[in-house]
Amino acid sequence: MRYESSFTKIENELAASFRNRIKGAEGAAAVQQIYAEFVKEMLSRVTGAEVVLDEGDVRVDAEVDGGVVLGIGISQNPDYGKFLERSDLLDILRRQGQHAANKLTHLGKHSERDETKLFPRKNRRG
């Protein structure tokens, strides 16, 4: 598929920081927030305007193809629609969203680690 414009340069500028933040996330809410901030920054740079996301505009879901669900605030917004249709923006959001979805899957499999961080046991050797 040939696009009218490509935003991989912006993706490359943001990707390293995004992935480091995702790697350090300790819960599902943190993963969701970090990904929403990535989307917000991508859209800001693409459109050249400040972007305000409402709750439900972006959701990471490991069960969905691409790992992301874009709400109507993004998918049906005419300001973003032209970029989603005529560029590689949607592919970028899905590609980075897959990293976030993989982290959610990992956190789901290793929830006992999260519990020990949140509720540490007292030292029994005392």
Listed in sequence order, the residues at least 6 apart from 43 whose beta carbon sits closer than 8 Å to its beta carbon are 51, 74, 80, 83
Average pLDDT, the chain: 86
Give the mean model confidence (pLDDT) for residues 12-29.
94
Q: pLDDT by residue (tens digit) across 61-116? A: 989 888 899 998 898 888 888 888 889 999 999 999 999 999 999 998 876 655 55
Q: What is the pLDDT of residue 36?
A: 95
Say what the pLDDT of residue 126 is: 47
pLDDT at 2: 58
What integer pLDDT is reported at residue 121 of this predicted model?
61
Coil/strand/helix, residue 94: helix
Q: What pLDDT is stored for residue 19 in this prediction?
A: 95
Q: Are 71 and 57 in contact (CB under 8 A)?
A: yes
